[in-house]
Amino acid sequence: MIITKKKEFKDIIKFLGKEKSVFIIGCGECSTTCKTGGENDVKEMTDALSKSGIKVTGSVIPEAPCVASKVRIELAKNKKAIDEADSILVLACGLGAQSVKDNLFKDKIVHIACDTLFMGQVDKDGAFLERCSGCGDCVLELTDMICPVTRCAKGILNGPCGGQNKGKCEVDNEKDCAWVLIYEALKKKNKVHLLKEIKPPRDYSKMLKPRSLKV
């Protein structure tokens, strides 16, 4: 899941400048879960813009605006309302906003209303946790599904640094040391031997941007 947070409304107004009308596009998946681009969020944005004197010509919440086939259908359905707007305001992650721009049927200004934070999971309490860095060289098989690249503040691949103290990270002593968590998890499963397998330096070529993949 892509985790986002709302931008300050004053910044959005600044982005819009002298534009008098806008069409709003939300997100039915990640941003709905993050409460940044769902039905209530689109309504709140519509009300706020209207109070600021900006006309909202319409809105839509594609299931996943980052998927071309899904957003193109919604753009086509709302062509008239989009034509009437000076610009489009996207309440989604950076992927969704770029997808909207790439799939428009005509050139139109696109604005984004959210900041994209990280890839994360949702825990049982509804908190968003950063757990994966998309490094292209996954080591979870060797670490009992605890990612040291992401959960270790230093991204160390071969055990804890010398700064961990009583199981806590030296960078943030409120957080558990990822490598202590990994050790305890492997110990319970009698897999501590996996720690003896020295991992080579990360191949950063697998993270060269921009990346693409054809399936």
pLDDT digits (tens, 9 = 90+) for 78-137: 999 999 999 999 999 999 999 999 999 989 999 999 999 999 999 999 999 999 999 999
pLDDT above 70 covers what percent of the chain?
A: 100
Average the pLDDT over 38-52 and give the result: 98
Average the pLDDT over 63-79 and give the result: 96
How does residue 41 score in pLDDT terms, banded at 50, 70 and 90?
very high
pLDDT at 65: 96
Name the residue type at position 94.
G
- 154 pLDDT above the threshold of 90: yes
Structural domains of the chain ordered from first start: 2-117 (3.40.50.2300), 132-207 (no CATH)
Range name among 35-39, 49-53, 168-172, 196-200 with the lowest pLDDT average? 196-200
Name the strands in the sheet holding 109-112, side by side, starting at the edge strand that comes first in the sequence: 55-60, 21-25, 87-90, 109-112
- 212 pLDDT above the threshold of 90: no
Alpha-carbon distance of 19 to 198, in angstroms, equals 58
Dihedral Cα 26, 28, 31, 37, nearest 10 deg: 30
Provide the 3-class DSSP secondary structure of residue 16: helix
pLDDT at 61: 98
- 48 pLDDT above the threshold of 90: yes
Provide the 3-class DSSP secondary structure of residue 106: coil
Q: Where are the alpha helices (DSSP H) in the chain?
A: 9-16, 30-33, 39-51, 68-77, 79-84, 94-102, 148-151, 178-188
Please answer whether residues 16 and 88 qualify as being in contact, where contact means their C-beta atoms are separated by less than 8 angstroms.
no
Alpha-carbon distance of 177 to 170, in angstroms, equals 8
How does residue 199 score in pLDDT terms, banded at 50, 70 and 90?
confident
Please answer whether residues 161 and 169 qualify as being in contact, where contact means their C-beta atoms are separated by less than 8 angstroms.
no
